[in-house]
Structure 1
Amino acid sequence: MFRLLVIATVLTLASTVLSTGLLIPLYAWPGIDAWTTIYDSIATHLSIPFYLIINPSTGPGNTEYPEEVFITAIAKLSSYSNTKVLGYTYTKQGTRASADIEKDIATYANWATYAGQNISLSGIFFDEAANGADPSKLVYFQNLSWKSKSSSLGTVVFNPGVKLVADVAQWFAAADFIVEYENTYANWVALAPYEHFSTSDHYGKDAVILNQTPVDADVDDVVRLAKDMGLGAIYLASDDNYMSLGNVPKVAVAVAQNRSVRRRRHGR
């Protein structure tokens, strides 16, 4: 039954977005060779957008610039043409003081002034975002988005981790991506894909992060479906704290392969 639902979902979609990227919580410490898997995948798949969330200290930390190990790593990430590096901050479903979040934004924005290497960020990843159930939270997040974009951090990602329940169009208007699914691989495949999203109108700005992905999971099948739906970004992690980067090459290859297939089909 699930397979039939998947096929029905795919066949009813009008178009395919060819720019589906990888949204990767890059939370592992960037020590010696720790991010080599990331660098290699980015360099191998230059046609794929990589959105990389860095998190030095549950946010940017309390210093003007990050530690040297982060400076070196971020500069390397930024040297590739297909990357956008996003700074992590959290919102506690819109209950954290906005002044504290704006301080994080200002700190990340200030990294652009670092003279030694290019550690400018492309945007902000707002974790623990609200799901729209409380209408008063919309203005809170709209203001944070405006603050980020006006600070030259133009790529804004909200992560409620669940589908939005109200004011969907306004929420998507305030963000470049919204993570409407952050949960296990098992829970993802238990339902038809469209059930995880608030509406098909914004699939191009939808992102999904699957965790606890089994070793024998059909990553290619999940990625193919995401691309046929036109989702904006996807990632499948093996763990739920995102310390392991072992799945990055597998997901990148799947995105690249499906990208090639779709291009060949459109070229006929």
Structure 2
Amino acid sequence: MRGFPSLVAQAARAAGWLRLLPLLLLLLLVAQPSAARTDVMVPLYVYPGSQSYTNPNWQAAVDAIKANPGLHFYIIVNPNNGPLNTSDPSGLNEGYCNVANDSYIEHGCNRDWTTHLATINELPNAQTLGYVWTRYGARAVGDIKADIAEWAAWETAPTWEDGQSVNITIHGLWFDEVGTGSGNYSVYSELTSYANETFAAAAKTRKKKKDKNVAYSVVLNAGSVPNATYEAQLFDMASAVVTKETCFTSDPAASGVEGDCPEPYEPFDYTALTAGNGLPHDEAYNSRAVIIVHQFVGPPNATTATLQEQIDGVVSLGVHSTYFTSGSYHNTTAEPATVGNVGEMVRIATGANATSAAPRLGFGEQHGGSSWMSWTAAFVVFWSLYSFC
């Protein structure tokens, strides 16, 4: 009978552990990597509208973002093949900004842009990226850095309303026409390093002003898979890399299609995406690869069902983000691949929550992986268990 107290104590401890079983399960869950997800990458290369009018292609993007609050949208804005010629007080600016002195603003292109850009920045699941063209490493580095600095300077600006100042912050960069060979390493390493320094400094300033949205992304549009020997270096420079940009149609010379389909051309089909052909050589980078498909028109038969099949297939590969359009890159309203349909189909394919906003990602963060918040929660649970026992 002398062992009875010991048995009672053991039973009590066992019962205690049973009561703590839910906490143990929580510990295991929060420490697991989060599921990979696919976001939407929208090249919104359109003029937004005016004081009293909104371009339908711009409005369609805004509506899609609002309709899918659990899905993250990257919105690439491109006023003038980049942001420059937007800060010229000497007279009429060149290009699409084209404003007179009496309506000149220091940053933000013009008041049409500031008015409509602020609408997107108000949406918690939208992240604006500024367009920067690089001409496959041939454009002057000084000119590219000037674009980067200008984008980073977009913070607040006036609209057409007297006394109104709105948020026009750009939350990252989209480098277009990125070279895919190792000979391009030095120039893109210099440019992305400068981009990180510039945007990190701007984010630090905004943080001091109590702005919570200080994360930013750097996306490189290579349009194809980089050379195997260069792949790791290129991905290490960026939040994401476009490894496939092409068309769906099998008739790239058709009227309205000609010029949109990069050569050498093969009509898009997700089943043809393999390591080194549309996807990175190393599948570890799939979660940071971007797939862009233009001209989702026939032939073959470009139906809504086919679009859903293709989007389901792309999402199943675990890529960073994707976009389909039934027109040129800037067309968001052509059926069936409208930005609204694409947003809904990506949401369904990913199982994204239909009601809660997706967080904005910062540079260096990747889809999947355990967040510091998960591990913090795990530590709290573990310490509670340790103290109890």
Q: TM-score category by the smaller chain?
A: 0.7 to 0.9
Q: How far 1:104 moved relative to its partner?
A: 0.4
Q: Which moved more, 1:78-87 or 1:215-224?
A: 215-224
Partner amino acid, structure 2, of 1:117:
V
The residue that corresponds to 1:156 in the other structure is 218
> How has the CA–CA distance of structure 1 residues 262 and 17 changed in structure 2, closer, same or farther, with 3 Å as cutoff?
farther
**Aligned residues of 1:206 and 1:232 also touching (Cα < 8 A):** yes
> Which of 193, 199, 208 is the equivalent residue of 1:146?
193
Deviations 1:174-196 (A, max 9, x none): 01111111110142118612132
Equivalent-residue separation in structure 1 for 2:352 and 2:312 (angstroms): 10
Q: Separation in 1 of the partners of 2:126 and 2:353? A: 22
1:33 pairs with 2:38: no
For residues 110 and 103 of structure 1, what CA distance do their matches in structure 2 show? 11
Between 213-222 and 87-96, the greater mean CA deviation after superposition: 213-222
Q: Which residue of 1 aligns with 2:241?
A: 178
The alpha-carbon distance between structure 1 residues 261 and 83, as it changes in their structure 2 partners (threshold 3 A), is closer
CA RMSD of aligned residues (A): 2.2
Of 251, 254, 257, 2:342 maps to 251
The corresponding residue for 1:216 is 303
Structure 1 stretch displaced more, 180-189 or 78-87:
180-189
Task: Decide whether the 8 Å contact of 1:52 with 1:86 is kept in 2.
Answer: yes
The question of whether the paired residues in 1 share the 8 Å contact of 2:83 and 2:151 is answered with: yes
Q: CA deviation at 1:100?
A: 0.2
Query: Please, which moves more after superposition, 193-202 or 173-182?
Result: 193-202
Q: Within 2, Cα distance between the matches of 1:261 and 1:106?
A: 35
2:39 corresponding residue in structure 1: 21
Q: Is the 8 A contact 1:138 1:171 kept in 2?
A: yes
Q: Say if 1:245 and 1:25 are closer, same or farther in 2 by CA, change over 3 A.
A: farther
* Partner of residue 119 from structure 2, selected from 76, 79, 94: 76
Does the 8 A contact of 1:59 with 1:104 survive in 2? yes
Check the 8 A contact 1:16/1:228 in 2, yes or no.
Answer: no
Matched residue, 2:330? 242
TM-superposed deviation, 1:47:
0.9
Amino acid at match of 2:345: A
TM superposition shift of 1:145: 1.2
CA shift, 1:95, in A, is 0.8
Distance 2:178 2:333 in 1: 24
Q: State whether residues 270 and 310 of structure 2, in contact with CA within 8 Å, keep that contact through their aligned partners in structure 1.
A: no
Match of 1:129 in 2: 178
SS in 2 for 1:86: strand
Q: CA deviation at 1:240?
A: 2.5
- Deviation of residue 245 (structure 1)? 3.7
> What is the rounded CA distance, in whole Å, between the counterparts of 1:190 and 1:175 in structure 2?
24
Distance in 2, Cα, partners of 1:125 & 1:157: 5
Q: TM-score, normalised by structure 2?
A: 0.60
Offset at 1:61?
2.6
After superposing on structure 2, the runs of 4+ consecutive aligned residues of structure 1 that deviate more than 3 Å are 15-18, 243-246
- Percent of matched pairs sharing the same residue: 26
- 1:201 aligns with 284
For normalisation by structure 1, the TM-score amounts to: 0.86
Any conservation in 2 of the 1:88–1:126 contact (CA below 8 Å)?
Answer: yes
Question: Residues 262, 71 of structure 1: CA spacing in aligned structure 2 closer, same or farther, 3 A cutoff?
Answer: closer
Q: 1:17 to 1:233 in 2, by over 3 A?
A: farther
How many residues are treated as equivalent by the alignment? Answer: 247
Distance of 1:123 and 1:221 partners within structure 2: 31
Partner-residue secondary structure (3-state), 1:208: strand
Partner of 2:81: 58
TM superposition shift of 1:146: 1.5
Using the alignment, how far apart are the partners of 1:190 and 1:234 within structure 2?
12
Alignment CA distance shift 1:72-1:262 (3 Å): closer
**C-alpha separation between the residues in 2 aligned to 1:103 and 1:50?**
26
Distance 2:111 2:352 in 1: 41
Q: 16, 21, 45: which is aligned to 2:68?
A: 45
> Residue by residue, what CA displacement relative to the aligned partner does 1:104-155 show, whole Å, maximum 9, x if unpaired?
01111111253611111111100000012xx231121122112112222731
The 1-side partners of 2:34 and 2:345 are apart by 16
> Hey, what's the Cα distance between the residues in 2 that align with 1:122 and 1:261?
22
**Cα distance in 1, alignment partners of residues 319 and 348 from structure 2:** 16
* Contact persistence 1:17–1:230 (CA under 8 A): no
Would the aligned equivalents of 1:164 and 1:197 in 2 still touch at CA under 8 Å?
no
Whether the aligned pair in 1 keeps the contact of 2:61 and 2:332 (CA below 8 Å) is no
In the alignment, the residues of structure 2 paired with residue 147 and residue 155 of structure 1 have an alpha-carbon distance, to the nearest angstrom, of 13
Using a 3 Å threshold, how does the CA distance of structure 1 residues 92 and 79 change in structure 2: closer, same or farther?
Answer: same
